[in-house]
């Protein structure tokens, strides 16, 4: 089965050539269908898709601030319930508006149990406001606030484990996805929307400018992120973790890193530490998959 032909995010939006998130939007909205309300946190997606008085959206769309997209979606869901109306409520937010600025509202939405699907398009920095580091930025990555020098070698800390944090909130559905595995993303959105309660998805969204990659290499970078184990593809349904895609053999993480200008400064010791971290996390996921219920829901 292929993707539906109907488009809910039309051509002409002002995103950069090669940007990762337009593909995400198209796949997600095809899965959700026309009976859907979109809440969009401030960020790249909001800026390029809705320059007043124009819009690329063919669905009801609400602009929220960085910090309150999940709260706005909670209000939309509560209003629909009061009006006895039924519609999919989906939030799109970047990593800055999800991991950091909007985390409190997201945590509250999860704890209150709103029937909302929150999707983080993860481009691993505040790309919209100048490529500053976020808590999603990988360790050693260059950003404008984590410059490269003799003593400071990019970001100093590892990426925040947002998916596990959302699963620990008791969400009945948490997942990761990559646009290059388009049917996996499509089917996960379908599954998420069939489950009542607060859902969360983290979707890889390369940024051509911030990651310093050619505009025709986005899909290749996505593929290498998954094949190297840097961005594992899994879902957690009612506490049970399942790895949806297992490479026959993990590709060396160096192949993924060296495709991107933000990692060109890395030395062999730094690359080796990232490889060790990836190997350790992959083993951790394999062990969690063996458990009947890795997270309490």
Query: Residue 252 phi/psi, 5° resolution?
Result: -60, 135
Which of 227, 221, 231, 220 has its CA nearest to residue 246? 227
Residues 6+ apart with CB under 8 A from 173: 191, 192, 195, 197, 199, 200, 235, 236, 237, 238
pLDDT value, residue 243:
98
Q: What CATH number does the domain containing 120 carry?
A: 3.40.50.970
pLDDT value, residue 1:
67
Q: Average pLDDT of 245-250? A: 96
225 found inside a domain: yes
Number of domains comprising the chain: 1
pLDDT tens-place string over residues 76-107: 999 999 999 999 999 999 999 999 999 999 99
pLDDT value, residue 181:
98
Residue 113: exposure state from Cβ atoms within 10 A (0-12, 13-18, ≥19): middle
12 found inside a domain: no
14 found inside a domain: no
Q: Could you tell me the residue range of the domain that residue 277 belongs to?
A: 21-289
pLDDT tens-place string over residues 144-189: 999 999 889 999 999 999 999 999 999 999 999 999 999 999 999 9
Which of 126, 121, 250, 99 has its CA nearest to residue 185? 121
pLDDT tens-place string over residues 21-62: 999 999 999 999 999 999 999 999 999 999 889 999 999 999
Instruction: Assess contact for 22 and 9: CB atoms under 8 A.
Output: yes
Percent over 90 (pLDDT), the chain: 95
189 found inside a domain: yes
255 found inside a domain: yes
pLDDT value, residue 2:
86
pLDDT value, residue 13:
84
| Eight-class DSSP state of 263 | G
SS3 state of residue 214:
coil
- The three-state (H, E, C) secondary structure of 91-147, written as one string: EEEEHHHHHHCCHHHHHHHHHHCCCCEEEEEECCCEHHHCCECCCCCCCCCCECCEC
**Model-level pTM greater than 0.85?**
yes
Q: How far apart are the first and last CA of the chain?
A: 32
85 found inside a domain: yes
Please provide the average confidence, as pLDDT, over all residues in the chain. 96
8 found inside a domain: no
């Amino acid at each position: 089965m292929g993707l539906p032909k109907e488009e809910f995010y039309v051509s002409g939006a002002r995103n950069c050539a090669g940007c990762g998130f337009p593909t995400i939007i198209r796949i997600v909205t095809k899965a959700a269908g026309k009976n859907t309300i979109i809440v969009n946190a401030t960020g790249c997606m909001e800026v390029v898709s809705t320059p007043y008085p124009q819009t690329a959206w063919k669905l009801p769309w609400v602009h929220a601030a960085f910090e309150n997209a999940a709260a706005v979606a909670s209000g939309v869901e509560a209003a629909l319930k009061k009006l006895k109306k039924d519609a999919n409520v989906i939030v799109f937010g970047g990593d800055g508006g999800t991991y950091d600025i909007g985390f409190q509202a997201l945590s509250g939405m999860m704890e209150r149990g709103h029937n909302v699907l929150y999707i983080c398009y993860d481009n691993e920095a505040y790309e919209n406001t100048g490529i500053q580091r976020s808590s999603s930025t990988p360790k050693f990555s260059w950003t404008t606030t984590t410059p490269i020098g003799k003593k400071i070698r990019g970001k100093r800390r590892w990426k925040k484990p947002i998916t596990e944090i959302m699963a620990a909130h008791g969400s009945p559905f948490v997942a990761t996805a990559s646009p290059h595995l388009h049917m996996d993303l499509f089917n996960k959105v379908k599954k998420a929307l069939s489950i009542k309660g607060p859902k969360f998805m983290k979707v890889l969204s390369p940024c051509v400018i911030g990651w310093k990659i050619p505009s025709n290499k986005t899909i290749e970078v996505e593929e290498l992120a998954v094949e190297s184990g840097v961005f594992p593809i899994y879902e957690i349904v009612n506490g049970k973790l399942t790895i949806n895609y297992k490479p026959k053999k993990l590709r060396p993480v160096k192949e993924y890193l060296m495709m991107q200008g933000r990692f060109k400064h890395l030395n062999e010791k730094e690359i080796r530490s990232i490889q060790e971290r990836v190997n350790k996390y992959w083993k951790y996921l394999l062990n969690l998959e063996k458990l009947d219920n890795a997270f309490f829901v």
